[in-house]
A and B are shown apart, each in its own frame.
Chain A
Amino acid sequence: MVKLLTPNRSPFSLTLRTKLVLSTAVILIIACLVLGWLFIQQQVRSAAEGLRQSGTLLAQHLAHMGRFSVVAGDTHRLSHLIQEILAVDPVAYAAVISSDGELQAGFGKGTWAEQFSVQPSGQRRFSLTNVTWPPPLHTAPDAPLISAVQLKGDQPMLRHNIEFTLEELLSIAGGFELPIVYDVIVRIPQRQFMTTRDPALDLTLDERVDKPQAEGLQRTIAPALVQVGLSTSHLQHILRQLWWQATAITISIMATGLLIALLLARRMTTPLQELTHAATRLAAGETVSPVSGHTGDEIGTLTGVFNAMAMTLQAREHELRELTRTLEGRIEARTKELVAANAKLQELDRRKSFFVSTASHELRTPLTSMKVHLANLRDGIDGAVTDDQWRSLTRVEANLSRLQGLIDELLDLSTIEMGQAALHLEPVVLGNVIGKAIEDLHPLASERRVRIVLSLPSDLPIASADPNKLHQIMINLLHNAIKFSPIRSTVDVEVTSLRNGELKISVRDVGPGLAPEEIDKVFQPFYRAPATPKQAKGAGLGLTIAKLLVELHHSRLWVETTLGEGSCFYFVLRPVVSKQELPLLQYFPIAGTQRV
């Protein structure tokens, strides 16, 4: 019972606590990773955007401060302004480019200083101009053009994506520094003037006969561009710190979450474990004290219900135990009564058997005397008798013989039941004993015109049996078969050797057979089957005596029958196991099949 309640767990099965902790851990890990990644992405965007805005402001400042120096061609002042811009830490380079892409002034720091070279013509040139020129500036005059440039070897390359990719972020987190700069290009601003209703300025600016000259003038002082590069080195350093901080925070949150999940799972599963332990003990029949559960949740409710159920079960068990104890006493008393009654019945049965034995024995003596005197009368020794007297005497003699047979059977039955039937086992040639029985019943078989067929194997072993009692058994079985066989039918007697060496004897008839409910009754004394012919004589003791005699041989007699088709009685005898008995045997030459 206990085993049923606690089924065997698979080695791969998990406890409820483990499942709770694992599921919480999975949710926590996924949530922390997603949130951490989003946080890092947001911080990266924010930091990069801040850097780009700083670069835009620096570029706009340089454009504003140097706009008149550009017009005046004051490269000395432009260079001074650019050096001021370069003093700002993240600035990698700064340059002023004319509208046709020529470098007016520009300098760089570190590796970017090498990107400014002197051409054979004597003019300086910025290598990045080859990559970014012409810049696709927006129509809005103040809008900056921001792009990302990476140095590969010594050559600047324009990146397609301005943001860091995942691989680059991982490289940065791993300690690598990428040579990436944000390139910011802004226009040098031009100031607009109001000329409405100012005739002097209107005429000066607009009254020209030859307009192409004015356009040419405008073109000569076309606006230039300012290009500022911002190194992402410091940004990458910040991102690296941010990455590890975010990782540490994520791990801390996960660890804290797991600890809380563990505590919660323990809080949930401990009452369940106590309940399981209590239920197991309850199932084993032990007395269980109430499980403590003070939580107000479902587990607390379950604990309360379990305690109530345990109390009810224990009360019922106590009642049942009390009832059992009382019942044993009563059964013991009844058993004593039954034993006493049985002893009384056995005594009565012994007395009955003794009475029957004594009566039968006492009846046999006068009956034998009566049969002697009657035979003398019938044979005319005591005087001549008429034919009618002779027939009467013959009929009386037949009835006396029948009465004697009945008395003999009763005597045999009582002798066996009283345990006074001694068994004298000796080697028996079954063919001789069975043949003797068949021969003894020849008159009856002839009268009923029943043919008895005996089948014996050629190598029939010697059986161990009491020959007289075996003869009696066969007489009773054959008599029963002949009695219930129809006229001109056959009774088959067969002896077969079984695999274990035993010998099985069967007597088969084609009589009316037995109903299933009659099979057990047929061996009871004085039982007469409903299909017994009216002219059949007998007291119903033949099969009972045969059964008892077979059981005396430590075997059993059984019947296989089909109603309307006949019956077959079987019993088994053991063969002789000791060869010292064999010389005492007397052999009768019997053929394989003897017909009567």
Chain B
Amino acid sequence: MIINWPTERGDRMLPVYSLLFLLWLTSLSGFANATEIVILQSSELPSYEQAVLGFKAAIPATTKVKEYNLNGQLTRGREIGKSLRASPPDLILAVGLKAAIAAKLEIFDQPVVFCLVLTPDAYGLPAPNQTGIAVHPPPGAQLTALRSVIPHRRRIGVLYDEEYSGNFIRHAHRAAKQQGLELVAVAIRGQDDIPQAVRALLPTIDALWLIQDQTVISESAIPFYLESTLDAKVPLFTFSSTLVQQGALGALVVDAWTVGQQAARIAQSRLKEPTTATSSIQAPEHPQLAMNVSSAEYLGLAPSPETMRLAHQRFGGPGVMAKKPGAASDLIP
């Protein structure tokens, strides 16, 4: 092999080449200093997509973002986690339960922010390197919202599964006591207990509070709650705007896009101060009050103008309309 080195003409161009090389090295060092964030998304739930969009909208444009979708498979999340350990990013955002669990199992040194995990404590979350955002507002906030809607109702009934919501209920008891409310909590072990529990509970309470408990909430049980409470004229306070739309009186709801933005702010804070203590769960910011004015009217309630002003979402659901005799209905033949 024969190598032809630069000739005389090449000798004259040597300073130019040296300058260009220096410029390239400079740009490389700048690129190497850009923040890299990896987003692990559990599946393609619309809520996850909204949270990711909110997150990306809040981070700086220079931040390098890599996205991975687990497609609902935890094993895939663990494989991705292992590969990330080889070239770790500056921060990992885990959206959803399976993404958070995969990060907990495979990422030990890098900061992790997770969101949209329903019961993190049931799965040992957060890990020491993790910071999470709760899905639901704290019990006190929810009860405050409930009290603003039905200020004169004291006995608040609630169903829960000790496995999922034991801690939450204990916090709720304290919060209720502080606010002068009486929380009537009925523990159930499965969905078979729901009908009997509701039948026993409704005559003794002023309002029913549905919490995000996966034993309490199912597609089959939701209409039962809606119809039973409306039939018994007991206000139903929930966590979902959909349920409000279907006939529940009110709810304190969390927006996924807002959660994403909140996660972005936590991520930036963690990147600026990597040594700050982590392993915490933060309450979701800016929960919104939803109300069904038709249900309120049917129940004989008159929310204050202030409450109505605070209600970001107002509905007139068909559940109440169905109970009005003579009105158009999809239930009575």
Contact = CB atoms under 8 A, between A and B. Distances in A.
Interface string B175-219: 000000000000000111011101100000000000011100111
Interface of A: 57, 60-61, 64, 67-68, 71-74, 190-191, 193-209, 214, 217-218, 220-221
Given A209-B74, A221-B191, A200 B245 contact: no
A61 B329 CA distance: 12
Given A68-B224, A193-B243, A220-B192, 12 more contacts: A68-B228, A190-B220, A194-B242, A198-B240, A200-B135, A200-B240, A200-B254, A201-B240, A205-B214, A207-B96, A217-B220, A220-B191
B105 interface: no
A199 B245 contact: no
B203 to A, nearest CB: 13
Nearest 7 A/B pairs, CB to CB:
A72-B195, A199-B47, A221-B220, A199-B256, A201-B240, A191-B223, A198-B242
Contacts of B45: 199, 202-203, 206
A195 B242 contact: yes
Given A68-B223, A201-B240, A207-B97, A73 B196 contact: yes
Contacts of B218: 205, 214, 217-218, 221
A68 B227 contact: yes
A511 to B, nearest CB: 133
B148 interface: no
B222 interface: yes
B219 A203 contact: no
B196 A72 contact: yes
B50 interface: yes
A177 B214 CA distance: 56
Interface in B102-138: 116-118, 123, 135-136
B46 interface: yes
B317 to A, nearest CB: 11
Interface string B297-332: 000000000000000000000000000000000011
Nearest to B319: A191
Nearest to A202: B47
B158 interface: no
B109 to A, nearest CB: 25
Interface in B253-277: 253-256, 259
Nearest to A192: B219
A207 B118 contact: yes
A194 B245 contact: yes
Contacts of B254: 199-200
A197 B332 contact: no
A193 B242 contact: yes
A68 B218 CA distance: 14
Contact of B97 (A191, A201, A209, A214): A209
Interface in B228-249: 228, 231, 239-243, 245-246
A202 B46 contact: yes
Contacts of B191: 217, 220-221
A221 B195 CA distance: 10
A220 B220 CA distance: 10
Given A71-B224, A72-B199, A209-B97, A204 B214 contact: yes
A204 B45 CA distance: 12
Contacts of B96: 207
Nearest to A218: B220
A157 B72 CA distance: 52
B50 A73 contact: no
Helix, strand, loop or mixed for chain B's interface? helix
Interface residues of B, number: 54
A57 B253 CA distance: 39
Contacts of B217: 201, 204-205
Contacts of A195: 242
B333 interface: yes
Contacts of A214: 218
Most interface-central of A74, A207, A221 (chain B CB within 10 A): A207
Contacts, number: 122
30 contacts: A61-B333, A68-B227, A71-B221, A71-B224, A72-B195, A72-B199, A74-B195, A74-B199, A193-B246, A194-B242, A195-B242, A197-B50, A198-B47, A198-B253, A199-B47, A199-B254, A199-B255, A200-B135, A200-B136, A201-B217, A201-B239, A202-B46, A204-B212, A204-B239, A205-B217, A209-B101, A217-B218, A217-B220, A218-B219, A221-B218
B98 interface: yes
Most interface-central of A60, A67, A71, A190 (chain B CB within 10 A): A71
A209 B164 CA distance: 13
Contacts of A208: 214
Interface in B43-64: 45-47, 50-51
Nearest to B122: A209
Contact of A199 (B50, B123, B195, B331): B50
Contact of B46 (A68, A71, A197): A197
Contacts of B123: 209
B195 A73 contact: yes
A81 to B, nearest CB: 13
Contacts of A190: 220, 223
Nearest to B42: A207
Given A193-B242, A217-B218, A200 B253 contact: yes
B220 to A, nearest CB: 4
A64 B323 CA distance: 13
Contacts of A193: 219, 222-223, 242-243, 246
Contacts of A207: 42, 96-97, 116-118, 214
Contact of A201 (B116, B192, B223, B242): B242
Contacts of B46: 196-197, 202
Contacts of B98: 209
B178 to A, nearest CB: 24
Contacts of B220: 71, 190, 217-218, 221
A199 B222 contact: no
Contacts of B243: 193, 201
Contacts of A205: 214, 217-219
A465 B302 CA distance: 165
A293 to B, nearest CB: 70
Contacts of B331: 64
A199 B259 contact: yes
Interface in B72-101: 74, 96-98, 101
B245 to A, nearest CB: 7
Interface in B144-171: none
B190 A217 contact: yes
A61 to B, nearest CB: 5
Contacts of A74: 195, 199
Most interface-central of A60, A71, A196, A198 (chain B CB within 10 A): A198
Contacts of A209: 74, 97-98, 101, 123
Given A199-B51, A200-B240, A218-B220, A71 B212 contact: no
A164 B199 CA distance: 47
Contacts of A200: 135-136, 212, 239-240, 253-254
Contact of A203 (B47, B199, B241, B255): B47
A258 to B, nearest CB: 50
A193 B317 CA distance: 12
A209 B171 CA distance: 25
Contact of A198 (B101, B117, B241): B241
Contacts of B227: 67-68
A217 B192 CA distance: 8
A539 B64 CA distance: 177
Contacts of B199: 72, 74
Nearest to A70: B195
Contacts of B228: 68, 72
A196 B241 CA distance: 11
B198 A72 contact: yes
A334 B47 CA distance: 144
A32 to B, nearest CB: 41
Nearest to B239: A200
A196 to B, nearest CB: 6
